[in-house]
Amino acid sequence: AQSVAQPEDQVNVAEGNPLTVKCTYSVSGNPYLFWYVQYPNRGLQFLLKYITGDNLVKGSYGFEAEFNKSQTSFHLKKPSALVSDSALYFCAVRDQTGANNLFFGTGTRLTVIP
């Protein structure tokens, strides 16, 4: 069975500091991994995805994520947080069968403190 865990419901970081939002996954076979961001009263916006290749994936708004197969993790990172990064972040996974279901984590609320 496929699943995603986001171990932190809430992450607080000071503006200008680096941020990390954690995600671990479980799939049979190789994973396809995604990060989405949700601002208040809005839909989910795609940030980045890992399919294959370089373990460090760069995405929108200066975000990047590092795929670590041995630790089954796909943590989202940004070198310098902005107040405008405050939002709800979702990690999601699919497996190679191409099954339609995109399995989401429960979300992590990021608050960047001015």
Task: Draw the binding track, 76-95, toward other proteins (x: CB under 8 A; -: no contact).
Answer: --------------x-x-xx
49 is an interface residue for other proteins by CB under 8 A: yes
Q: Which is nearer to other proteins, 15 or 26 (CB)?
A: 26
CB within 8 Å of 105: residues ≥ 6 apart: 4, 5, 6, 23, 90, 91, 92
Least CB distance to other proteins at residue 104 (A): 4
d(CA 74, CA 102): 15
Residue 6 near residue 93, CB atoms below 8 Å? no
Least CB distance to other proteins at residue 18 (A): 25
Amino acid identity of residue 60, one-letter, is S
55 is an interface residue for other proteins by CB under 8 A: no
Cα-only R_g, the chain? 13
Contact footprint for other proteins (CB under 8 A): 32, 34, 36, 42-46, 49, 51, 90, 92, 94-102, 104-107
